[in-house]
Chains A and B, each alone.
Chain A
Amino acid sequence: MAGSQTEKYPGSHVGRVGYYIQMLVKLLDGIFAVLAVSALLAIAVVVIIQIVSRFLLPTSPIWTEELSRYLFIYLIVMSSGLIVRKNLHVRLELFQSALSPFWGKVYDIFCHLMVGGFALYILPYSIKYAQIGRWQTSPALEVPMYWSFLSVCFFFALTAFYSFVCIVLLFLERDDQGVLR
Chain B
Amino acid sequence: MEIFLLFGTFFLLLFIGVPIVFCLGIASLTYLSMAGISFTIVPQRLYAGMDSFVLLCIPGFILAGNLMNSGKITDYIIRFSNALLGHIRGGLGLANVGGSMIFGGISGTAVADTASIGAVMIPGMARSGYDKSFAAAVTAASSTIGPIIPPSVPMIIAGSLSGISVGKMFLAGVVPGFLLGLGMMVTAYVISVKRQYPREKRATLKEIFIVGRGAIWALLMTFIILYGIIGGLFTPTEASIVASLYAFAVGMFVYKGITWSNLPKLLLDTVLSSASLLLLVGMANLFGWILTSEKIPQMLAEAIFAVSENPFIVILVVNIVLLIVGGFMETIAALIILFPTLLKVAEGIGMDPVQFGVMAVLNLIIGLTTPPVGVCLFVASGISGLSMTAIVRAIWPFLICNILVLLLVSYIPAISLWLPSLLG
A: which residues have CB within 8 A of B? 33, 36-37, 39-41, 43-44, 47-48, 50-51, 65, 68-69, 72-73, 75-80, 82-83, 86, 88-96, 107, 110-111, 114-115, 118, 121-122, 125-126, 128-130, 132, 148-149, 151-153, 155-156, 180
Contact = CB atoms under 8 A, between A and B. Distances in A.
Contacts of B260: none
Contacts of B56: 43, 68-69, 72
A27 B147 CA distance: 37
Interface in B38-86: 38-40, 42-44, 46-47, 50-53, 55-56, 59-60, 63
A44 B40 contact: no
A4 B328 CA distance: 38
B278 interface: yes
Contacts of A94: 15, 17, 372-373
A161 to B, nearest CB: 15
Given A50-B238, A51-B238, A122 B18 contact: no
B388 to A, nearest CB: 11
Q: Which 10 A-B pairs have the closest CB atoms?
A: A89-B19, A79-B275, A126-B43, A152-B43, A129-B43, A125-B39, A47-B241, A76-B275, A36-B271, A37-B267
Contact of A92 (B20, B268, B270): B20
Contacts of B29: 118, 121-122
B59 A40 contact: yes
Contact of B18 (A37, A95, A115): A115
Given A83-B276, A125-B43, A69 B241 contact: no
A107 B17 contact: yes
A91 B23 CA distance: 9
Contacts of B44: 129
> How extensive is the interface on chain B, given as a class?
35 or more
Interface of B: 13-22, 25-26, 29, 38-40, 42-44, 46-47, 50-53, 55-56, 59-60, 63, 234, 237-238, 241-242, 244-245, 264-265, 267-268, 270-276, 278-280, 282, 328, 330, 333, 372-373
A151 B279 CA distance: 12
Contact of A125 (B22, B26, B40, B244): B40
Contacts of A93: 17, 373
Nearest to B333: A90
B17 A96 contact: yes
Contacts of B333: 90
Given A47-B238, A69-B53, A152 B273 contact: no
Contacts of A33: 268, 271
Given A36-B275, A92-B20, A92-B328, A114 B26 contact: yes
20 contacts: A36-B275, A37-B271, A41-B267, A43-B241, A65-B53, A72-B56, A75-B275, A82-B272, A83-B276, A89-B276, A91-B20, A94-B15, A95-B17, A118-B26, A126-B42, A129-B47, A132-B40, A152-B43, A152-B46, A155-B46
A69 B51 contact: yes
Contacts of A75: 59, 271, 274-275
A76 B278 CA distance: 7
Given A36-B268, A37-B267, A40-B267, A111 B20 contact: no
Nearest to A37: B267
Contacts of A48: 241, 245
B271 A118 contact: no
Contact of B17 (A88, A92, A118): A92
Nearest to B275: A79
Given A69-B53, A129-B44, A89 B21 contact: yes
B279 A83 contact: yes
B19 A115 contact: yes
Most A-side CB within 10 Å, residue of B17, B21, B52, B244: B17
A114 B245 CA distance: 40
B326 to A, nearest CB: 13
Nearest to B26: A118
A66 to B, nearest CB: 9
Given A90-B330, A126-B40, 9 more contacts: A36-B275, A68-B53, A73-B51, A76-B50, A76-B279, A91-B17, A93-B17, A111-B19, A122-B25
Contacts of B280: 90
B271 A114 contact: no
A121 B275 CA distance: 22
Given A37-B267, A37-B268, A75-B59, A83 B275 contact: yes
Contact of B237 (A47, A118, A149): A47
Of listed A39, A83, A91, A149, residue having the most chain B CB within 10 A? A91
A86 B46 CA distance: 22
B217 to A, nearest CB: 20
Contacts of A114: 13, 18, 22, 26
Nearest to B271: A36
Contacts of A40: 59, 63, 267, 270-271
A122 B59 contact: no
A141 B170 CA distance: 32
Nearest to A111: B18
B279 A125 contact: no
Max chain A C-beta neighbours (<10 A), residue from B16, B38, B271, B373: B271
B223 to A, nearest CB: 18
B410 to A, nearest CB: 27
Contacts of A73: 47, 50-51
A152 B279 contact: no
